[in-house]
Amino acid sequence: MSTSSGKGEYLLLVRGADWHKGLSPEQLQNVMSQFRDWLDRLTEQGKIKGAQPLEREGRVVSGRHGRIVADGPFAESKEAIGGYFLLQVKDLDEATAIAQSCPTLEYGSSIEVRPVAELCPLMVSMAKAGEQVELAAAIA
Amino acid sequence: MSTPSSKNDYMLLFRGNTWDKDLSQEQVQKVVADWAAWFERLTVEGRAIGGHPLENHGKIVSGKKGRTVADGPFAESKEAIGGYFYLQVADLQEAIEIAKQCPGLDYGVTVEVRPVAEMCTVRQRAIENATRTRELAAAGA
């Protein structure tokens, strides 16, 4: 479902967009330069396919035909997504280790590590259900 | 996926992965097929440059040095992110119009539309502070 196969890809979602509140300008600069070094190093190793922060404003679309468009989500929330990294690495353990080394974790953000699916999980379970139906028919 | 300028980049985050719970096999198949066709169309139009469903398992990392690592699950939740699209379009309004076309909306999926930032606002503030500090020092010297 994309321009890349998805194999070996992991999406890291950084949650908690307000981790930097309460830091002095000096501390902030420190973290940002640590972060920049960390990201540059991973990029040089060819592990970063994409990495960007997301703007604080956004919209949430819902309802039939998306008729409800609300402002949100709200950045104060610990769950709000502040940015993402798309990694190309060996396995979930490596992706998790990279997440653990992110300098912003010190100050309260959390990182969700998700393997990118090559096939939509629903299609996989539908295919499995289809196989079972065929098998049952063959046995009958 | 990282382009030189992110000014027209938007992420669509699809939330809710229990939308198929009360649907028939046939209905689910239709939605999944419609969804794939929708993505295909957007890619051909050059408006979607990336996108993937996400596996329902994974980890949540937190705490100093990421010492706390919890397992998902990410299933069974209206907030769980099931996938994303990466768009390049004229403005937020166009991204919203695209979001409204999501075939899952009729069954409870919600779509979060997020502009990709040109530069991390925190980093921007750090840079501004550094500049101001330098200017003050220069003025004082």
Cα–Cα distance, B38 to B101 (Å, whole number): 8
Of the candidates A3, A96, A87, which has an alpha carbon nearest to the alpha carbon of residue A45? A87
More confident residue, A139 or A55: A55
**Residue B87 in domain:** yes
CATH number at residue B116: 3.30.70.1060
Categorize the per-residue pLDDT at A139 as very low, low, confident or very high, splitting at 50, 70 and 90.
Answer: low
E strand residue ranges, A1-140: 9-15, 48-53, 59-62, 68-71, 81-88, 110-115
Nearest chain A residue to B66, by CA: A100
Contact B116 A52 (CB under 8 A): yes
The percentage of chain A sitting over the pLDDT mark of 70, rounded to a whole number, equals 81
Q: How high is the mean pLDDT in each 10-residue block of chain B (141 residues)?
A: 67 90 90 94 96 91 89 73 95 96 95 87 64 79 65
Residues with Cβ < 8 Å from B128, sequence gap 6 or more? Answer: none
The percentage of chain A sitting over the pLDDT mark of 90, rounded to a whole number, equals 39
Residues of chain A numbered 50-69 and touching chain B (CB < 8 Å): 50-67, 69
**Residue A80 in domain:** yes
Task: Look at residue A1 and tell me whether its pLDDT is greater than 50.
Answer: no
Residues of chain B numbered 5-44 and touching chain A (CB < 8 Å): 6, 9, 11, 13, 20, 25, 28-29, 32, 35-36, 39, 43
pLDDT of residue A79: 80
CA distances from B66 to A9, A103, A104 (A): 20, 9, 10
Neighbours of A74 (CB within 10 A): 12
**Residue A1 in domain:** no
pLDDT of residue A134: 61
**Residue B68 in domain:** yes
- pLDDT, tens only, A43-87: 888 898 889 989 888 999 999 999 999 998 776 677 889 899 999
What are the strands of the beta sheet with A48-53, ordered from one edge?
A: A48-53, A81-88, A9-15, A110-115, B59-62, B68-71
pLDDT of residue B57: 87
pTM for the structure as a whole: 0.82
Residue B62 C-alpha, separation from nearest chain A C-alpha, in angstroms: 5
* Beta bridge pairs of residue B88: B9
**Residue A78 in domain:** yes
**Residue A2 in domain:** no
- Supply the range of the domain harboring residue B71: 9-140
- For residue A96, which residues of chain B lie inside 8 Å, CB to CB? 59, 61, 69
Quote the number of domains for chain B.
Answer: 1
pLDDT of residue B19: 87
| Range A26-42 average pLDDT | 89
Contact of B80 with chain A, judged by CB distance below 8 Å, is answered with: no
Mean pLDDT of chain A: 84
CATH number at residue A112: 3.30.70.1060
What are the strands of the beta sheet with A59-62, ordered from one edge?
A: A68-71, A59-62, B110-115, B9-15, B81-88, B48-53
- Supply the range of the domain harboring residue A30: 9-139
Cα–Cα distance, A81 to A74 (Å, whole number): 9
Task: Look at residue A2 and tell me whether its pLDDT is greater than 50.
Answer: no
Q: What is the ipTM of this complex?
A: 0.82
Contact of B110 with chain A, judged by CB distance below 8 Å, is answered with: yes
Quote the number of domains for chain A.
Answer: 1
